[in-house]
Amino acid sequence: MIDDATVAALGAPLARFLAGDGIVVLDGGLATELEARGHTLNDALWSARLLVDDPDAIRAVHAAYLDAGADCITTATYQASYPGWAAAGLSEEETDGLYRRASQLARQAREAYLERRGVEDRRPAPLVAASVGPYGAYLADGSEYDGRYGVGRTDLDAFHRRRYSVLGASGVDLLACETIPSALEAEVLLEIAADHPALPLWISFACRDDRQLWDGSDFEEVVGMCGSSSQVVAVGVNCTAPGLVPVLVQRARASTDRAVVAYPNSGERYDATERRWRSSGGAAPGGDEWDDVWLRSVLQAIRQGARLVGGCCRVGPRQIAALRHAVDSEAWTGSSDDENR
């Protein structure tokens, strides 16, 4: 358990959730639920395309995750970037407007949710986190599962800096720098964060195994580096196979006093050529058996010290609702033996 004094130092947006033994339930995959609702996202801009084509669909998915019990929703900006939108014919100023629209859609969904649940519900209002995806997401070739982009610090700074600033000023509670596969990219993001001292963020990494980021960097070393930043309120892992996450959380807890965030994907492998997820064997995602496997991994991650938990690609509102129930019923306090029965 993180003591309350440390929690308070981690930033106001999360402090009201994390005091004591609090757990923050995150949302799941935005694109996953959009596709489940019939939207075709086979596009270099992925779900961000709907910021122009169908913003109501994005707002509806935010609402679905809030109704499932998420304490925090993330904006539809993971794969949105200035060069990506420039290729679609938009200026930088027009792209700024889309970033602000993404924030507005999430905040509108939150406002509507708070009206639905009523004033008698005393839980804290859910948070809105602006999704900051890696450089590899812009490439739209699966490079976030590689990390070896072939670009240097200057290019990464130019890619991230303006987006970081605009999203940070868009009315969100914090930034989610997520699916980061590279230590160098993490260093650049931390340098940018230092120029925004009042803006909290979490940073979570995509890992190839239970010790390394996709670029081969040592996970514990990179987590320790992030913990040295006063802006970082949580650090951990996302869009990584569920079976790897509990060990990675354990390693993160040994390397930082920051809250640990963990939101695994389904365990499938992304095929960048065909732009689809492929099964890695075992239970089929979306079925009851798979739901149980995924949920057990997340609950084990909580036992290892994760304080912000949810899902990533191929995880939808049904799984988040099950996680919400498990957290509220304190199912995660059971033993590992209970979990594996």
pLDDT of residue 251: 98
**Weakest mean pLDDT among 85-99, 240-254, 259-273, 275-289:** 275-289
Confidence (pLDDT) at 1: 43
To the nearest whole number, what is the mean pLDDT of the chain? 87
Confidence of residue 286 (pLDDT cuts 50, 70, 90): low
- Specify the pLDDT at position 150: 85
pLDDT at site 279? 55
The mean-pLDDT minimum among 36-40, 53-57, 181-185, 261-265 falls in 36-40
pLDDT at 282 over 90: no
279/245: higher pLDDT:
245
Please give, one letter per residue, the 3-state secondary structure of the chain: CCCHHHHHHCCHHHHHHHCCCCCEEECCCHHHHHHHCCCCCCCCCHHHHHHHHCHHHHHHHHHHHHHHCCCEEECCCCCCCHHHHHHCCCCHHHHHHHHHHHHHHHHHHHHHHHHHHCCCCCCCCCEEEEEECCHHHHHCCCHHHCCCCCCCHHHHHHHHHHHHHHHHCCCCCEEEEEEECCHHHHHHHHHHHHCCCCCCEEEEECECCCCEECCCCEHHHHHHHHCCCCCEEEEEEECCCHHHHHHHHHHHHCCCCCEEEEECCCCCEEECCCCEEECCCCCCCCCHHHHHHHHHHHHHHHHCCEEEECCCCCCCHHHHHHHHHHHHCCHHHCCHHHHCC
pLDDT over 90 for what percent of the chain?
Answer: 65
Dump pLDDT digits (tens) for 26-37: 999 998 998 898
Res. 172 pLDDT band, cuts 50 70 90? very high
Query: Residue 340's pLDDT is what?
Result: 40
**Residue 169 pLDDT level (bands cut at 50, 70, 90):** very high
Domain ranges, ordered by start, for the chain:
4-339
Q: What does each C-alpha distance from 331 to 66, 88, 241, 300, 328 come to in angstroms?
A: 21, 47, 22, 10, 8
Confidence (pLDDT) at 271:
46
For residues 186-196, give the mean pLDDT: 97
Task: For 224-273, write each residue's pLDDT tens digit.
Answer: 999 999 899 999 999 999 999 999 999 999 999 999 999 999 876 654 45
Q: What is the predicted pLDDT for the residue at 314?
A: 83
| pLDDT at residue number 117 | 86
Residue of higher predicted confidence among 299 and 2:
299
pLDDT of the residue at 285 = 53
Query: Cβ(1)–Cβ(303) under 8 Å?
Result: no
For the domain made up of 4-339, the CATH class stated in words is: alpha beta
